[in-house]
């Protein structure tokens, strides 16, 4: 039997235009503007730029340290010329490397040839074969990826995530005293304040940011199986671990002395797990805010030029929070698989990490897009104080906890059971609750304290707890 594989054009009318240049994914299409800053760090072009940086800096390092006997030192002009190769790296550089790779069928070799070509016909020509000396491809790649991810996290993702948390914290402070009916298990429960609940989320998110801010970015440059074998064969008297360490640390990374051919990627797994945890807490914020919107606690009154529903003109859908949820789920699916697979490599090397790491940008892109959506969603909210008050006034039974606690303190019989009989499965209004309190025989001052209590004032020190965000 003959099997025929359809081509991409088989389903198109013969006169239909080809869409081969159209973006395949949403991050490079409709959402490009929101995630564009990440391309500077986590794109294929950025990977090649950082590979070039590593090759250039390694050459400079070898000459500066005297690691190779007889290797001359570079002049200041030559060092500047080499670093200019990185500084001027652009779209034409990307295209040139891609063209070379079509011949070499090896990406890092194409980068090596790119650097060597810039040295031809200059005073650096005699050092052409020092480019990539003692290196396996993974020596270059692991450092390039560490630089890329470090730059993306510290310069793009963390600032955006921190700004979001600052927004949530500001809302928490603004509404610290806004009494709100709590719902445990979805049921009316001891009142809280809207600000305190937002402060909980801001505190949780900020804690994850501190962990991410302390992340280590590890790197190695020790040869084909991590033994410095070629290094020792070429220059046996050199302290290669010291040369390696100073080079990695010079790049702003943490040196890993014990590796196989690859740097073990454990730091990546740790970082991605922390980012995924931040994402999950943000997902919790999105679902909670969505629910508060559905309860009427938040009014989406800003940006009235938008269309909420294509057929129901009264609607303003909470799409920013729904989009955030979806993008957080995509991000976490990728971050989870990256964290779980990158820590494993068969014996001294397999190539699964190469394909996996190419998805790091997509994982961070969907997280960054979710952060952008959440910030825009929060900026479009106004608190409906009347809705908060209506729900509180309709649930006087939540004072049952307060009343039975006071009864316990003053030694009255069966306080829990008596309040259970009054409140379980029924609505209690102000009159019924006050009538119950008046019949308890409590001391006058205690009785008055309970009579003055309302669902709106039964919030403990919730408003004060918000100040812990600033401690």
Q: Predicted confidence band at 421 (pLDDT cuts at 50, 70, 90)? A: confident
Q: How far apart are the first and last CA of the chain?
A: 74
Average pLDDT over residues 433-451: 93
> What are the tokens at 110?
């194409």
CATH topology of domain 39-133: Fumarase C; Chain B, domain 1 (1.10.275)
What is the domain class of 396-454 according to CATH?
mainly alpha
pLDDT value at 9 more than 80: no
pLDDT value at 12 more than 80: no
Average confidence score pLDDT of the chain: 92
pLDDT value at 260 more than 50: yes
pLDDT of residue 310: 53
Q: 75: how many CB neighbours lie within 10 A of its CB? A: 12
Judged by average pLDDT, the poorest of 35-39, 56-60, 108-112, 346-350 is 346-350
Kindly report, as residue ranges, where domains of CATH 1.10.275.10 are found in the chain. 39-133
pTM of this prediction exceeds 0.85:
yes
pLDDT value at 98 more than 70: yes
Per-residue pLDDT tens digits for 157-191: 999 999 999 999 999 999 999 999 999 999 999 99
Kindly report, as residue ranges, where domains of CATH 1.20.200.10 are found in the chain. 138-302+316-385
Whether 309 is catalytic: yes
pLDDT of residue 225: 94
Average pLDDT over residues 419-443: 89
pLDDT value at 70 more than 50: yes
Per-residue pLDDT tens digits for 371-410: 999 999 999 999 999 999 999 999 999 999 999 999 999 9
pLDDT value at 5 more than 50: no
Annotated catalytic residue, options 185, 310, 314, 355 = 185
The answer to whether the CB of 65 falls within 8 A of the CB of 246 is yes
Kindly report, as residue ranges, where domains of CATH 1.10.40.30 are found in the chain. 396-454
pLDDT of residue 1: 42
Annotated catalytic residue, options 309, 340, 405, 410 = 309
pLDDT value at 273 more than 90: yes
Whose structure tokens read 């052409």?
128
Whether 405 is catalytic: no
pLDDT of residue 11: 52
CATH topology of domain 138-302+316-385: Fumarase C; Chain A, domain 2 (1.20.200)
Per-residue pLDDT tens digits for 295-318: 999 998 755 455 555 555 566 788
pLDDT of residue 131: 97
d(CA 110, CA 126): 20
Q: Predicted confidence band at 16 (pLDDT cuts at 50, 70, 90)? A: low
Q: Which DSSP letter does residue 311 get?
A: S
């Amino acid at each position: 039997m003959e099997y025929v594989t359809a081509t991409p054009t088989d389903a198109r009318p013969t006169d239909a235009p080809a869409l081969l240049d159209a973006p395949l994914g949403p991050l490079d299409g409709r959402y490009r503007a929101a995630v564009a800053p990440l391309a500077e760090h986590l794109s294929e072009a950025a990977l090649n730029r950082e590979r070039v940086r590593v090759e250039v800096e390694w050459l400079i390092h070898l000459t500066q340290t005297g690691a190779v006997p007889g290797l001359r030192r570079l002049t200041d002009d030559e060092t500047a010329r080499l670093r200019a190769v990185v500084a001027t790296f652009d779209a034409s550089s990307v295209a040139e490397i891609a063209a070379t790779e079509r011949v070499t069928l090896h990406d890092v070799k194409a980068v090596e040839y790119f650097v060597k070509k810039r040295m031809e016909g200059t005073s650096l020509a005699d050092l052409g074969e020092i480019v990539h000396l003692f290196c396996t491809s993974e020596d270059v790649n692991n450092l390039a990826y560490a630089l890329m991810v470090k730059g993306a996290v510290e310069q793009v993702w963390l600032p955006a995530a921190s700004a979001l948390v600052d927004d949530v914290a500001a809302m928490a402070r603004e509404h610290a005293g806004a009494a709100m009916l709590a719902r445990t298990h979805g049921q009316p429960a001891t009142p809280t304040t809207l600000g305190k609940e937002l402060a909980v989320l801001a505190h949780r998110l900020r804690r994850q940011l501190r962990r991410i801010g302390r992340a280590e970015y590890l790197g190695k440059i020790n040869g084909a199986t991590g033994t410095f074998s070629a290094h020792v064969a070429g220059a046996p008297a050199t302290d290669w671990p010291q040369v390696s360490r100073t080079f990695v640390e010079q790049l702003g990374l943490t040196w890993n002395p014990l590796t196989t051919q690859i740097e073990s990627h454990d730091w990546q797994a740790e970082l991605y797990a922390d980012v995924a945890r931040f994402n999950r807490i943000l997902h919790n914020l999105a679902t909670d805010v969505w629910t508060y919107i559905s309860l009427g606690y938040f009014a989406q009154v800003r940006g009235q030029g938008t269309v909420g529903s294509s057929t129901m003109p009264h609607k303003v859908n909470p799409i920013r929070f729904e989009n955030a949820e979806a993008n957080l789920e995509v991000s976490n699916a990728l971050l989870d698989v990256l964290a779980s697979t990158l820590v494993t490599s068969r014996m001294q090397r397999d190539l699964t990490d190469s394909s996996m790491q190419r998805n790091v940008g997509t994982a961070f892109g969907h997280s960054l897009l979710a952060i952008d959506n959440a910030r825009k969603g929060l900026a479009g909210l106004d608190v409906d104080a009347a809705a908060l008050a209506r729900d509180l006034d309709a649930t006087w039974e939540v004072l049952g906890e307060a009343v039975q606690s006071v009864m316990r303190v003053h030694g009255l019989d069966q306080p829990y059971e008596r309040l259970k009989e009054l409140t379980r499965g029924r609505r209690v209004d102000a009159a019924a609750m006050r009538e119950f309190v008046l019949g308890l025989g409590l001391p006058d001052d205690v009785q008055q304290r309970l009579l003055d209590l309302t669902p709106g004032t039964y919030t403990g020190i919730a408003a004060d707890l918000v100040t812990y965000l600033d401690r």
